[in-house]
């Protein structure tokens, strides 16, 4: 019987074809055959419950406490809902059970998905958790992150337009899909936790690869959209449970065989989600469990870009005015100049701007401690093959999905297909002059702060003759300059070939070493020919 008119269903209501009791601690409840039976999920007295009733007879109802209830499939359109006996009546086994007949298999699957989602609310919000733990203390996340920053962060990722931006990054999404599907053996029959699930797309990929069950943990309001998206894919939804909450706080009923996540921000570490990824590893992952991604690398190389340097320096010209409506602005000129150079530049640049081969800093997600991500110190040492001005340090990253079948890399390198991360450049307010064969040294230091980002301290030095040149900068990764115009058509430096100074973008060919290190190989002089021969 269809529900029409004023009986329009809410999202937590379902029409049931018929129900019949198979066991009961009380007298049997009868329902009229002349109107539909409604199954309603809700919270009564703070407890998630499932209620079967009819609008015309409030006395005809059956209520199940979801904390101690189970739902079993008996057939394509038939299920059994049972409620465990109370602690005082253990010998009975179950206190009540009903057989539920649905209109079709699709209705049955949707109902099962809703049942699991509402049981999850008990896991996250209830005082008694399935694994016996109670989460009452302030989480690590709240202790180290400003409340205002967290509020804006979760608001941003709770909007579909931002999720769409990431989904439409086909390099990102396509690489994740390939990494999962090509490594079905790692997912088949396994329990997966999706850390920071967002729209739930990675959870759906894992389910497509045959995961036994996926727990999609998402702290923002996007969790509600993820539930809708997953419910709209009924062939997969029964094996996915969305849990709204932070990985630092939620509890799971079982350990995970695999963690999957997209925790990368600008320069890999921005937004500090890598720390949550590591915390999820320590809380949820079985020993020797897999992590997708497995390892990350930050690549750095000095660059020369007169166009960019002049663009930033010229922004402060406004403050050189000595009579702006009769006001002298020059006292703020120096501060404005320093302020513009404190912004890392995010854009896609021409790789021919690099003046020395890149070096790399490896972060192994399977072994790094959370505290090691609070401060990252990277020594720098390069040799310039040309005479030029060094304007700063260019950075990008890549991550490895170390699958058992096909190890796959996702790269954000200049010259590779552009991602929504682009690349990042730290521009020094005082360029360095270098000669061919000149050694450039320094350090690159990242210090985490409570606004979910990092302060960057960069120092580069070079000695020309007897003169030591040193230039330093302090930049806030939280406040970048997004420079999204098309890159300039730069002329090649003498004797320099395209991509000559880049880490090889085809890093799929680099082996993964058992000790967790990644051999960093510089491209050979015949690099392009080698790539074509692969």
Which residues have a catalytic role annotated?
A: 262, 271
Cα–Cα distances in Å, from 347 out to 261, 267, 268, 405? 24, 12, 15, 34
Pairing of strands 295-303, 359-364: antiparallel
In the block, tokens 């989602």 appear at 117
User: How far apart are alpha carbons 84 and 35 in whole angstroms?
Assistant: 29
Count of CB atoms situated within 10 Å of the CB of 54: 16
Contact 14, 39 (CB under 8 A): yes
Residue 227 tokens, joined = 């539930």
User: How far apart are alpha carbons 402 and 380 in whole angstroms?
Assistant: 28
Read off the DSSP letter of residue 173.
H
Contact 139, 217 (CB under 8 A): no
Is-cis flag, bond preceding 213, omega within 30?
no
Instruction: Give 166's contacts (C-beta < 8 A, 6+ positions apart).
Output: 172, 173, 198, 262, 420
Helix or strand holding residue 203 (H, E): helix 201-208
- CA nearest 429: which of 523, 358, 510, 333? 333
- CA nearest 394: which of 305, 527, 272? 305
Contact 241, 254 (CB under 8 A): no
Burial class (CB in 10 A: 0-12, 13-18, 19+), 12: middle
- CA nearest 423: which of 431, 411, 432? 411
Contact 113, 14 (CB under 8 A): no
In the block, tokens 């997209």 appear at 262
Determine the length of the chain. 534
Read off the DSSP letter of residue 90.
G
Q: Which residues pair with 57 in a beta bridge?
A: 54
Residue 452 tokens, joined = 């979910």
Pairing of strands 388-401, 423-434: antiparallel
User: How far apart are alpha carbons 99 and 111 in whole angstroms?
Assistant: 14
Contact 215, 207 (CB under 8 A): no
Is-cis flag, bond preceding 293, omega within 30?
yes
User: How far apart are alpha carbons 127 and 138 in whole angstroms?
Assistant: 15
Q: Within 13 Å of residue 249, how many CA atoms lie on the same side as its CB? A: 19
């Amino acid at each position: 019987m269809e529900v029409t008119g004023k009986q329009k269903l809410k999202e937590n209501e379902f029409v049931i074809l018929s129900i019949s009791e198979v066991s009961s601690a009380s007298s049997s409840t009868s329902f009229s055959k002349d109107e539909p039976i409604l199954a309603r999920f809700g919270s009564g007295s703070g407890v998630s419950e499932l209620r079967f009733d009819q609008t015309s007879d409030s006395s005809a109802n059956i209520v199940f406490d979801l904390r101690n209830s189970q739902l079993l499939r008996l057939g394509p359109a038939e299920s059994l809902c049972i409620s465990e006996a109370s602690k005082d009546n253990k010998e009975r086994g179950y206190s009540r059970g009903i057989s539920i007949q649905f209109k079709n298999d699709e209705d049955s699957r949707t109902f099962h998905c809703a049942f699991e989602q509402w049981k999850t609310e008990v896991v996250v919000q209830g005082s008694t958790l399935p694994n016996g733990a109670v989460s009452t203390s302030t989480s690590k996340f709240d202790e180290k992150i400003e409340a205002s920053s967290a509020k804006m962060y979760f608001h941003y990722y709770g909007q579909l337009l931002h999720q769409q931006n990431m989904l439409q990054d086909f390099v990102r999404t396509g690489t994740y899909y390939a990494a999962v599907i090509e490594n079905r053996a790692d997912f088949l029959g396994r329990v997966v936790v999706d850390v920071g699930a967002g729209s739930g797309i990675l959870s759906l990929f894992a389910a497509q690869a045959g995961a036994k069950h996926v727990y999609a943990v998402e702290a923002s309001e996007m969790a509600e959209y993820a539930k809708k998206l997953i419910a709209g894919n009924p062939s997969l939804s029964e094996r996915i449970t969305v849990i709204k909450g932070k990985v630092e706080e939620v509890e799971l009923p079982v350990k995970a065989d695999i963690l999957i996540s997209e925790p990368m921000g600008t320069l890999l570490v921005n937004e500090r989600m890598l720390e949550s990824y590591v915390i999820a590893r320590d809380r949820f992952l079985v020993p020797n469990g897999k992590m997708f991604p497995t390892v990350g690398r930050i690549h750095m190389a000095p660059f020369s870009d007169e166009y960019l340097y002049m663009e930033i320096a010229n922004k402060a010209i406004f403050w050189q005015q000595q009579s702006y409506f009769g006001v002298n602005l020059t006292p703020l000129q120096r501060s404005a100049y320093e302020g513009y150079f404190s912004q890392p530049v995010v854009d896609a640049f021409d790789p021919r701007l690099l003046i020395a081969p890149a070096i790399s800093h490896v972060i192994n997600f399977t072994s790094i401690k959370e505290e090691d991500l609070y401060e990252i110190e990277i020594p720098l040492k390069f040799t310039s093959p040309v005479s030029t001005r060094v304007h700063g340090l260019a950075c990008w990253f890549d991550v490895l999905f170390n699958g058992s079948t096909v190890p796959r890399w996702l790269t954000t390198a200049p010259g590779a297909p552009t991602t929504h991360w682009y690349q990042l450049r730290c521009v020094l307010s005082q360029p360095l002059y270098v000669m061919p064969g000149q050694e450039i040294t320094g350090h690159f230091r990242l210090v985490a702060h409570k606004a979910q980002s990092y302060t960057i301290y960069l120092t580069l030095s070079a000695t020309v003759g007897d003169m030591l040149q040193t230039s330093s900068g302090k930049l806030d990764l939280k406040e970048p300059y997004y420079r999204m115009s098309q890159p300039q058509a730069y002329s090649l430096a003498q004797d320099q070939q395209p991509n000559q100074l880049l880490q090889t973008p085809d890093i799929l060919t680099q082996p993964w070493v058992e000790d967790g290190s990644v051999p960093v190989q510089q491209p050979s002089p015949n690099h392009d020919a080698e790539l074509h021969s692969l």
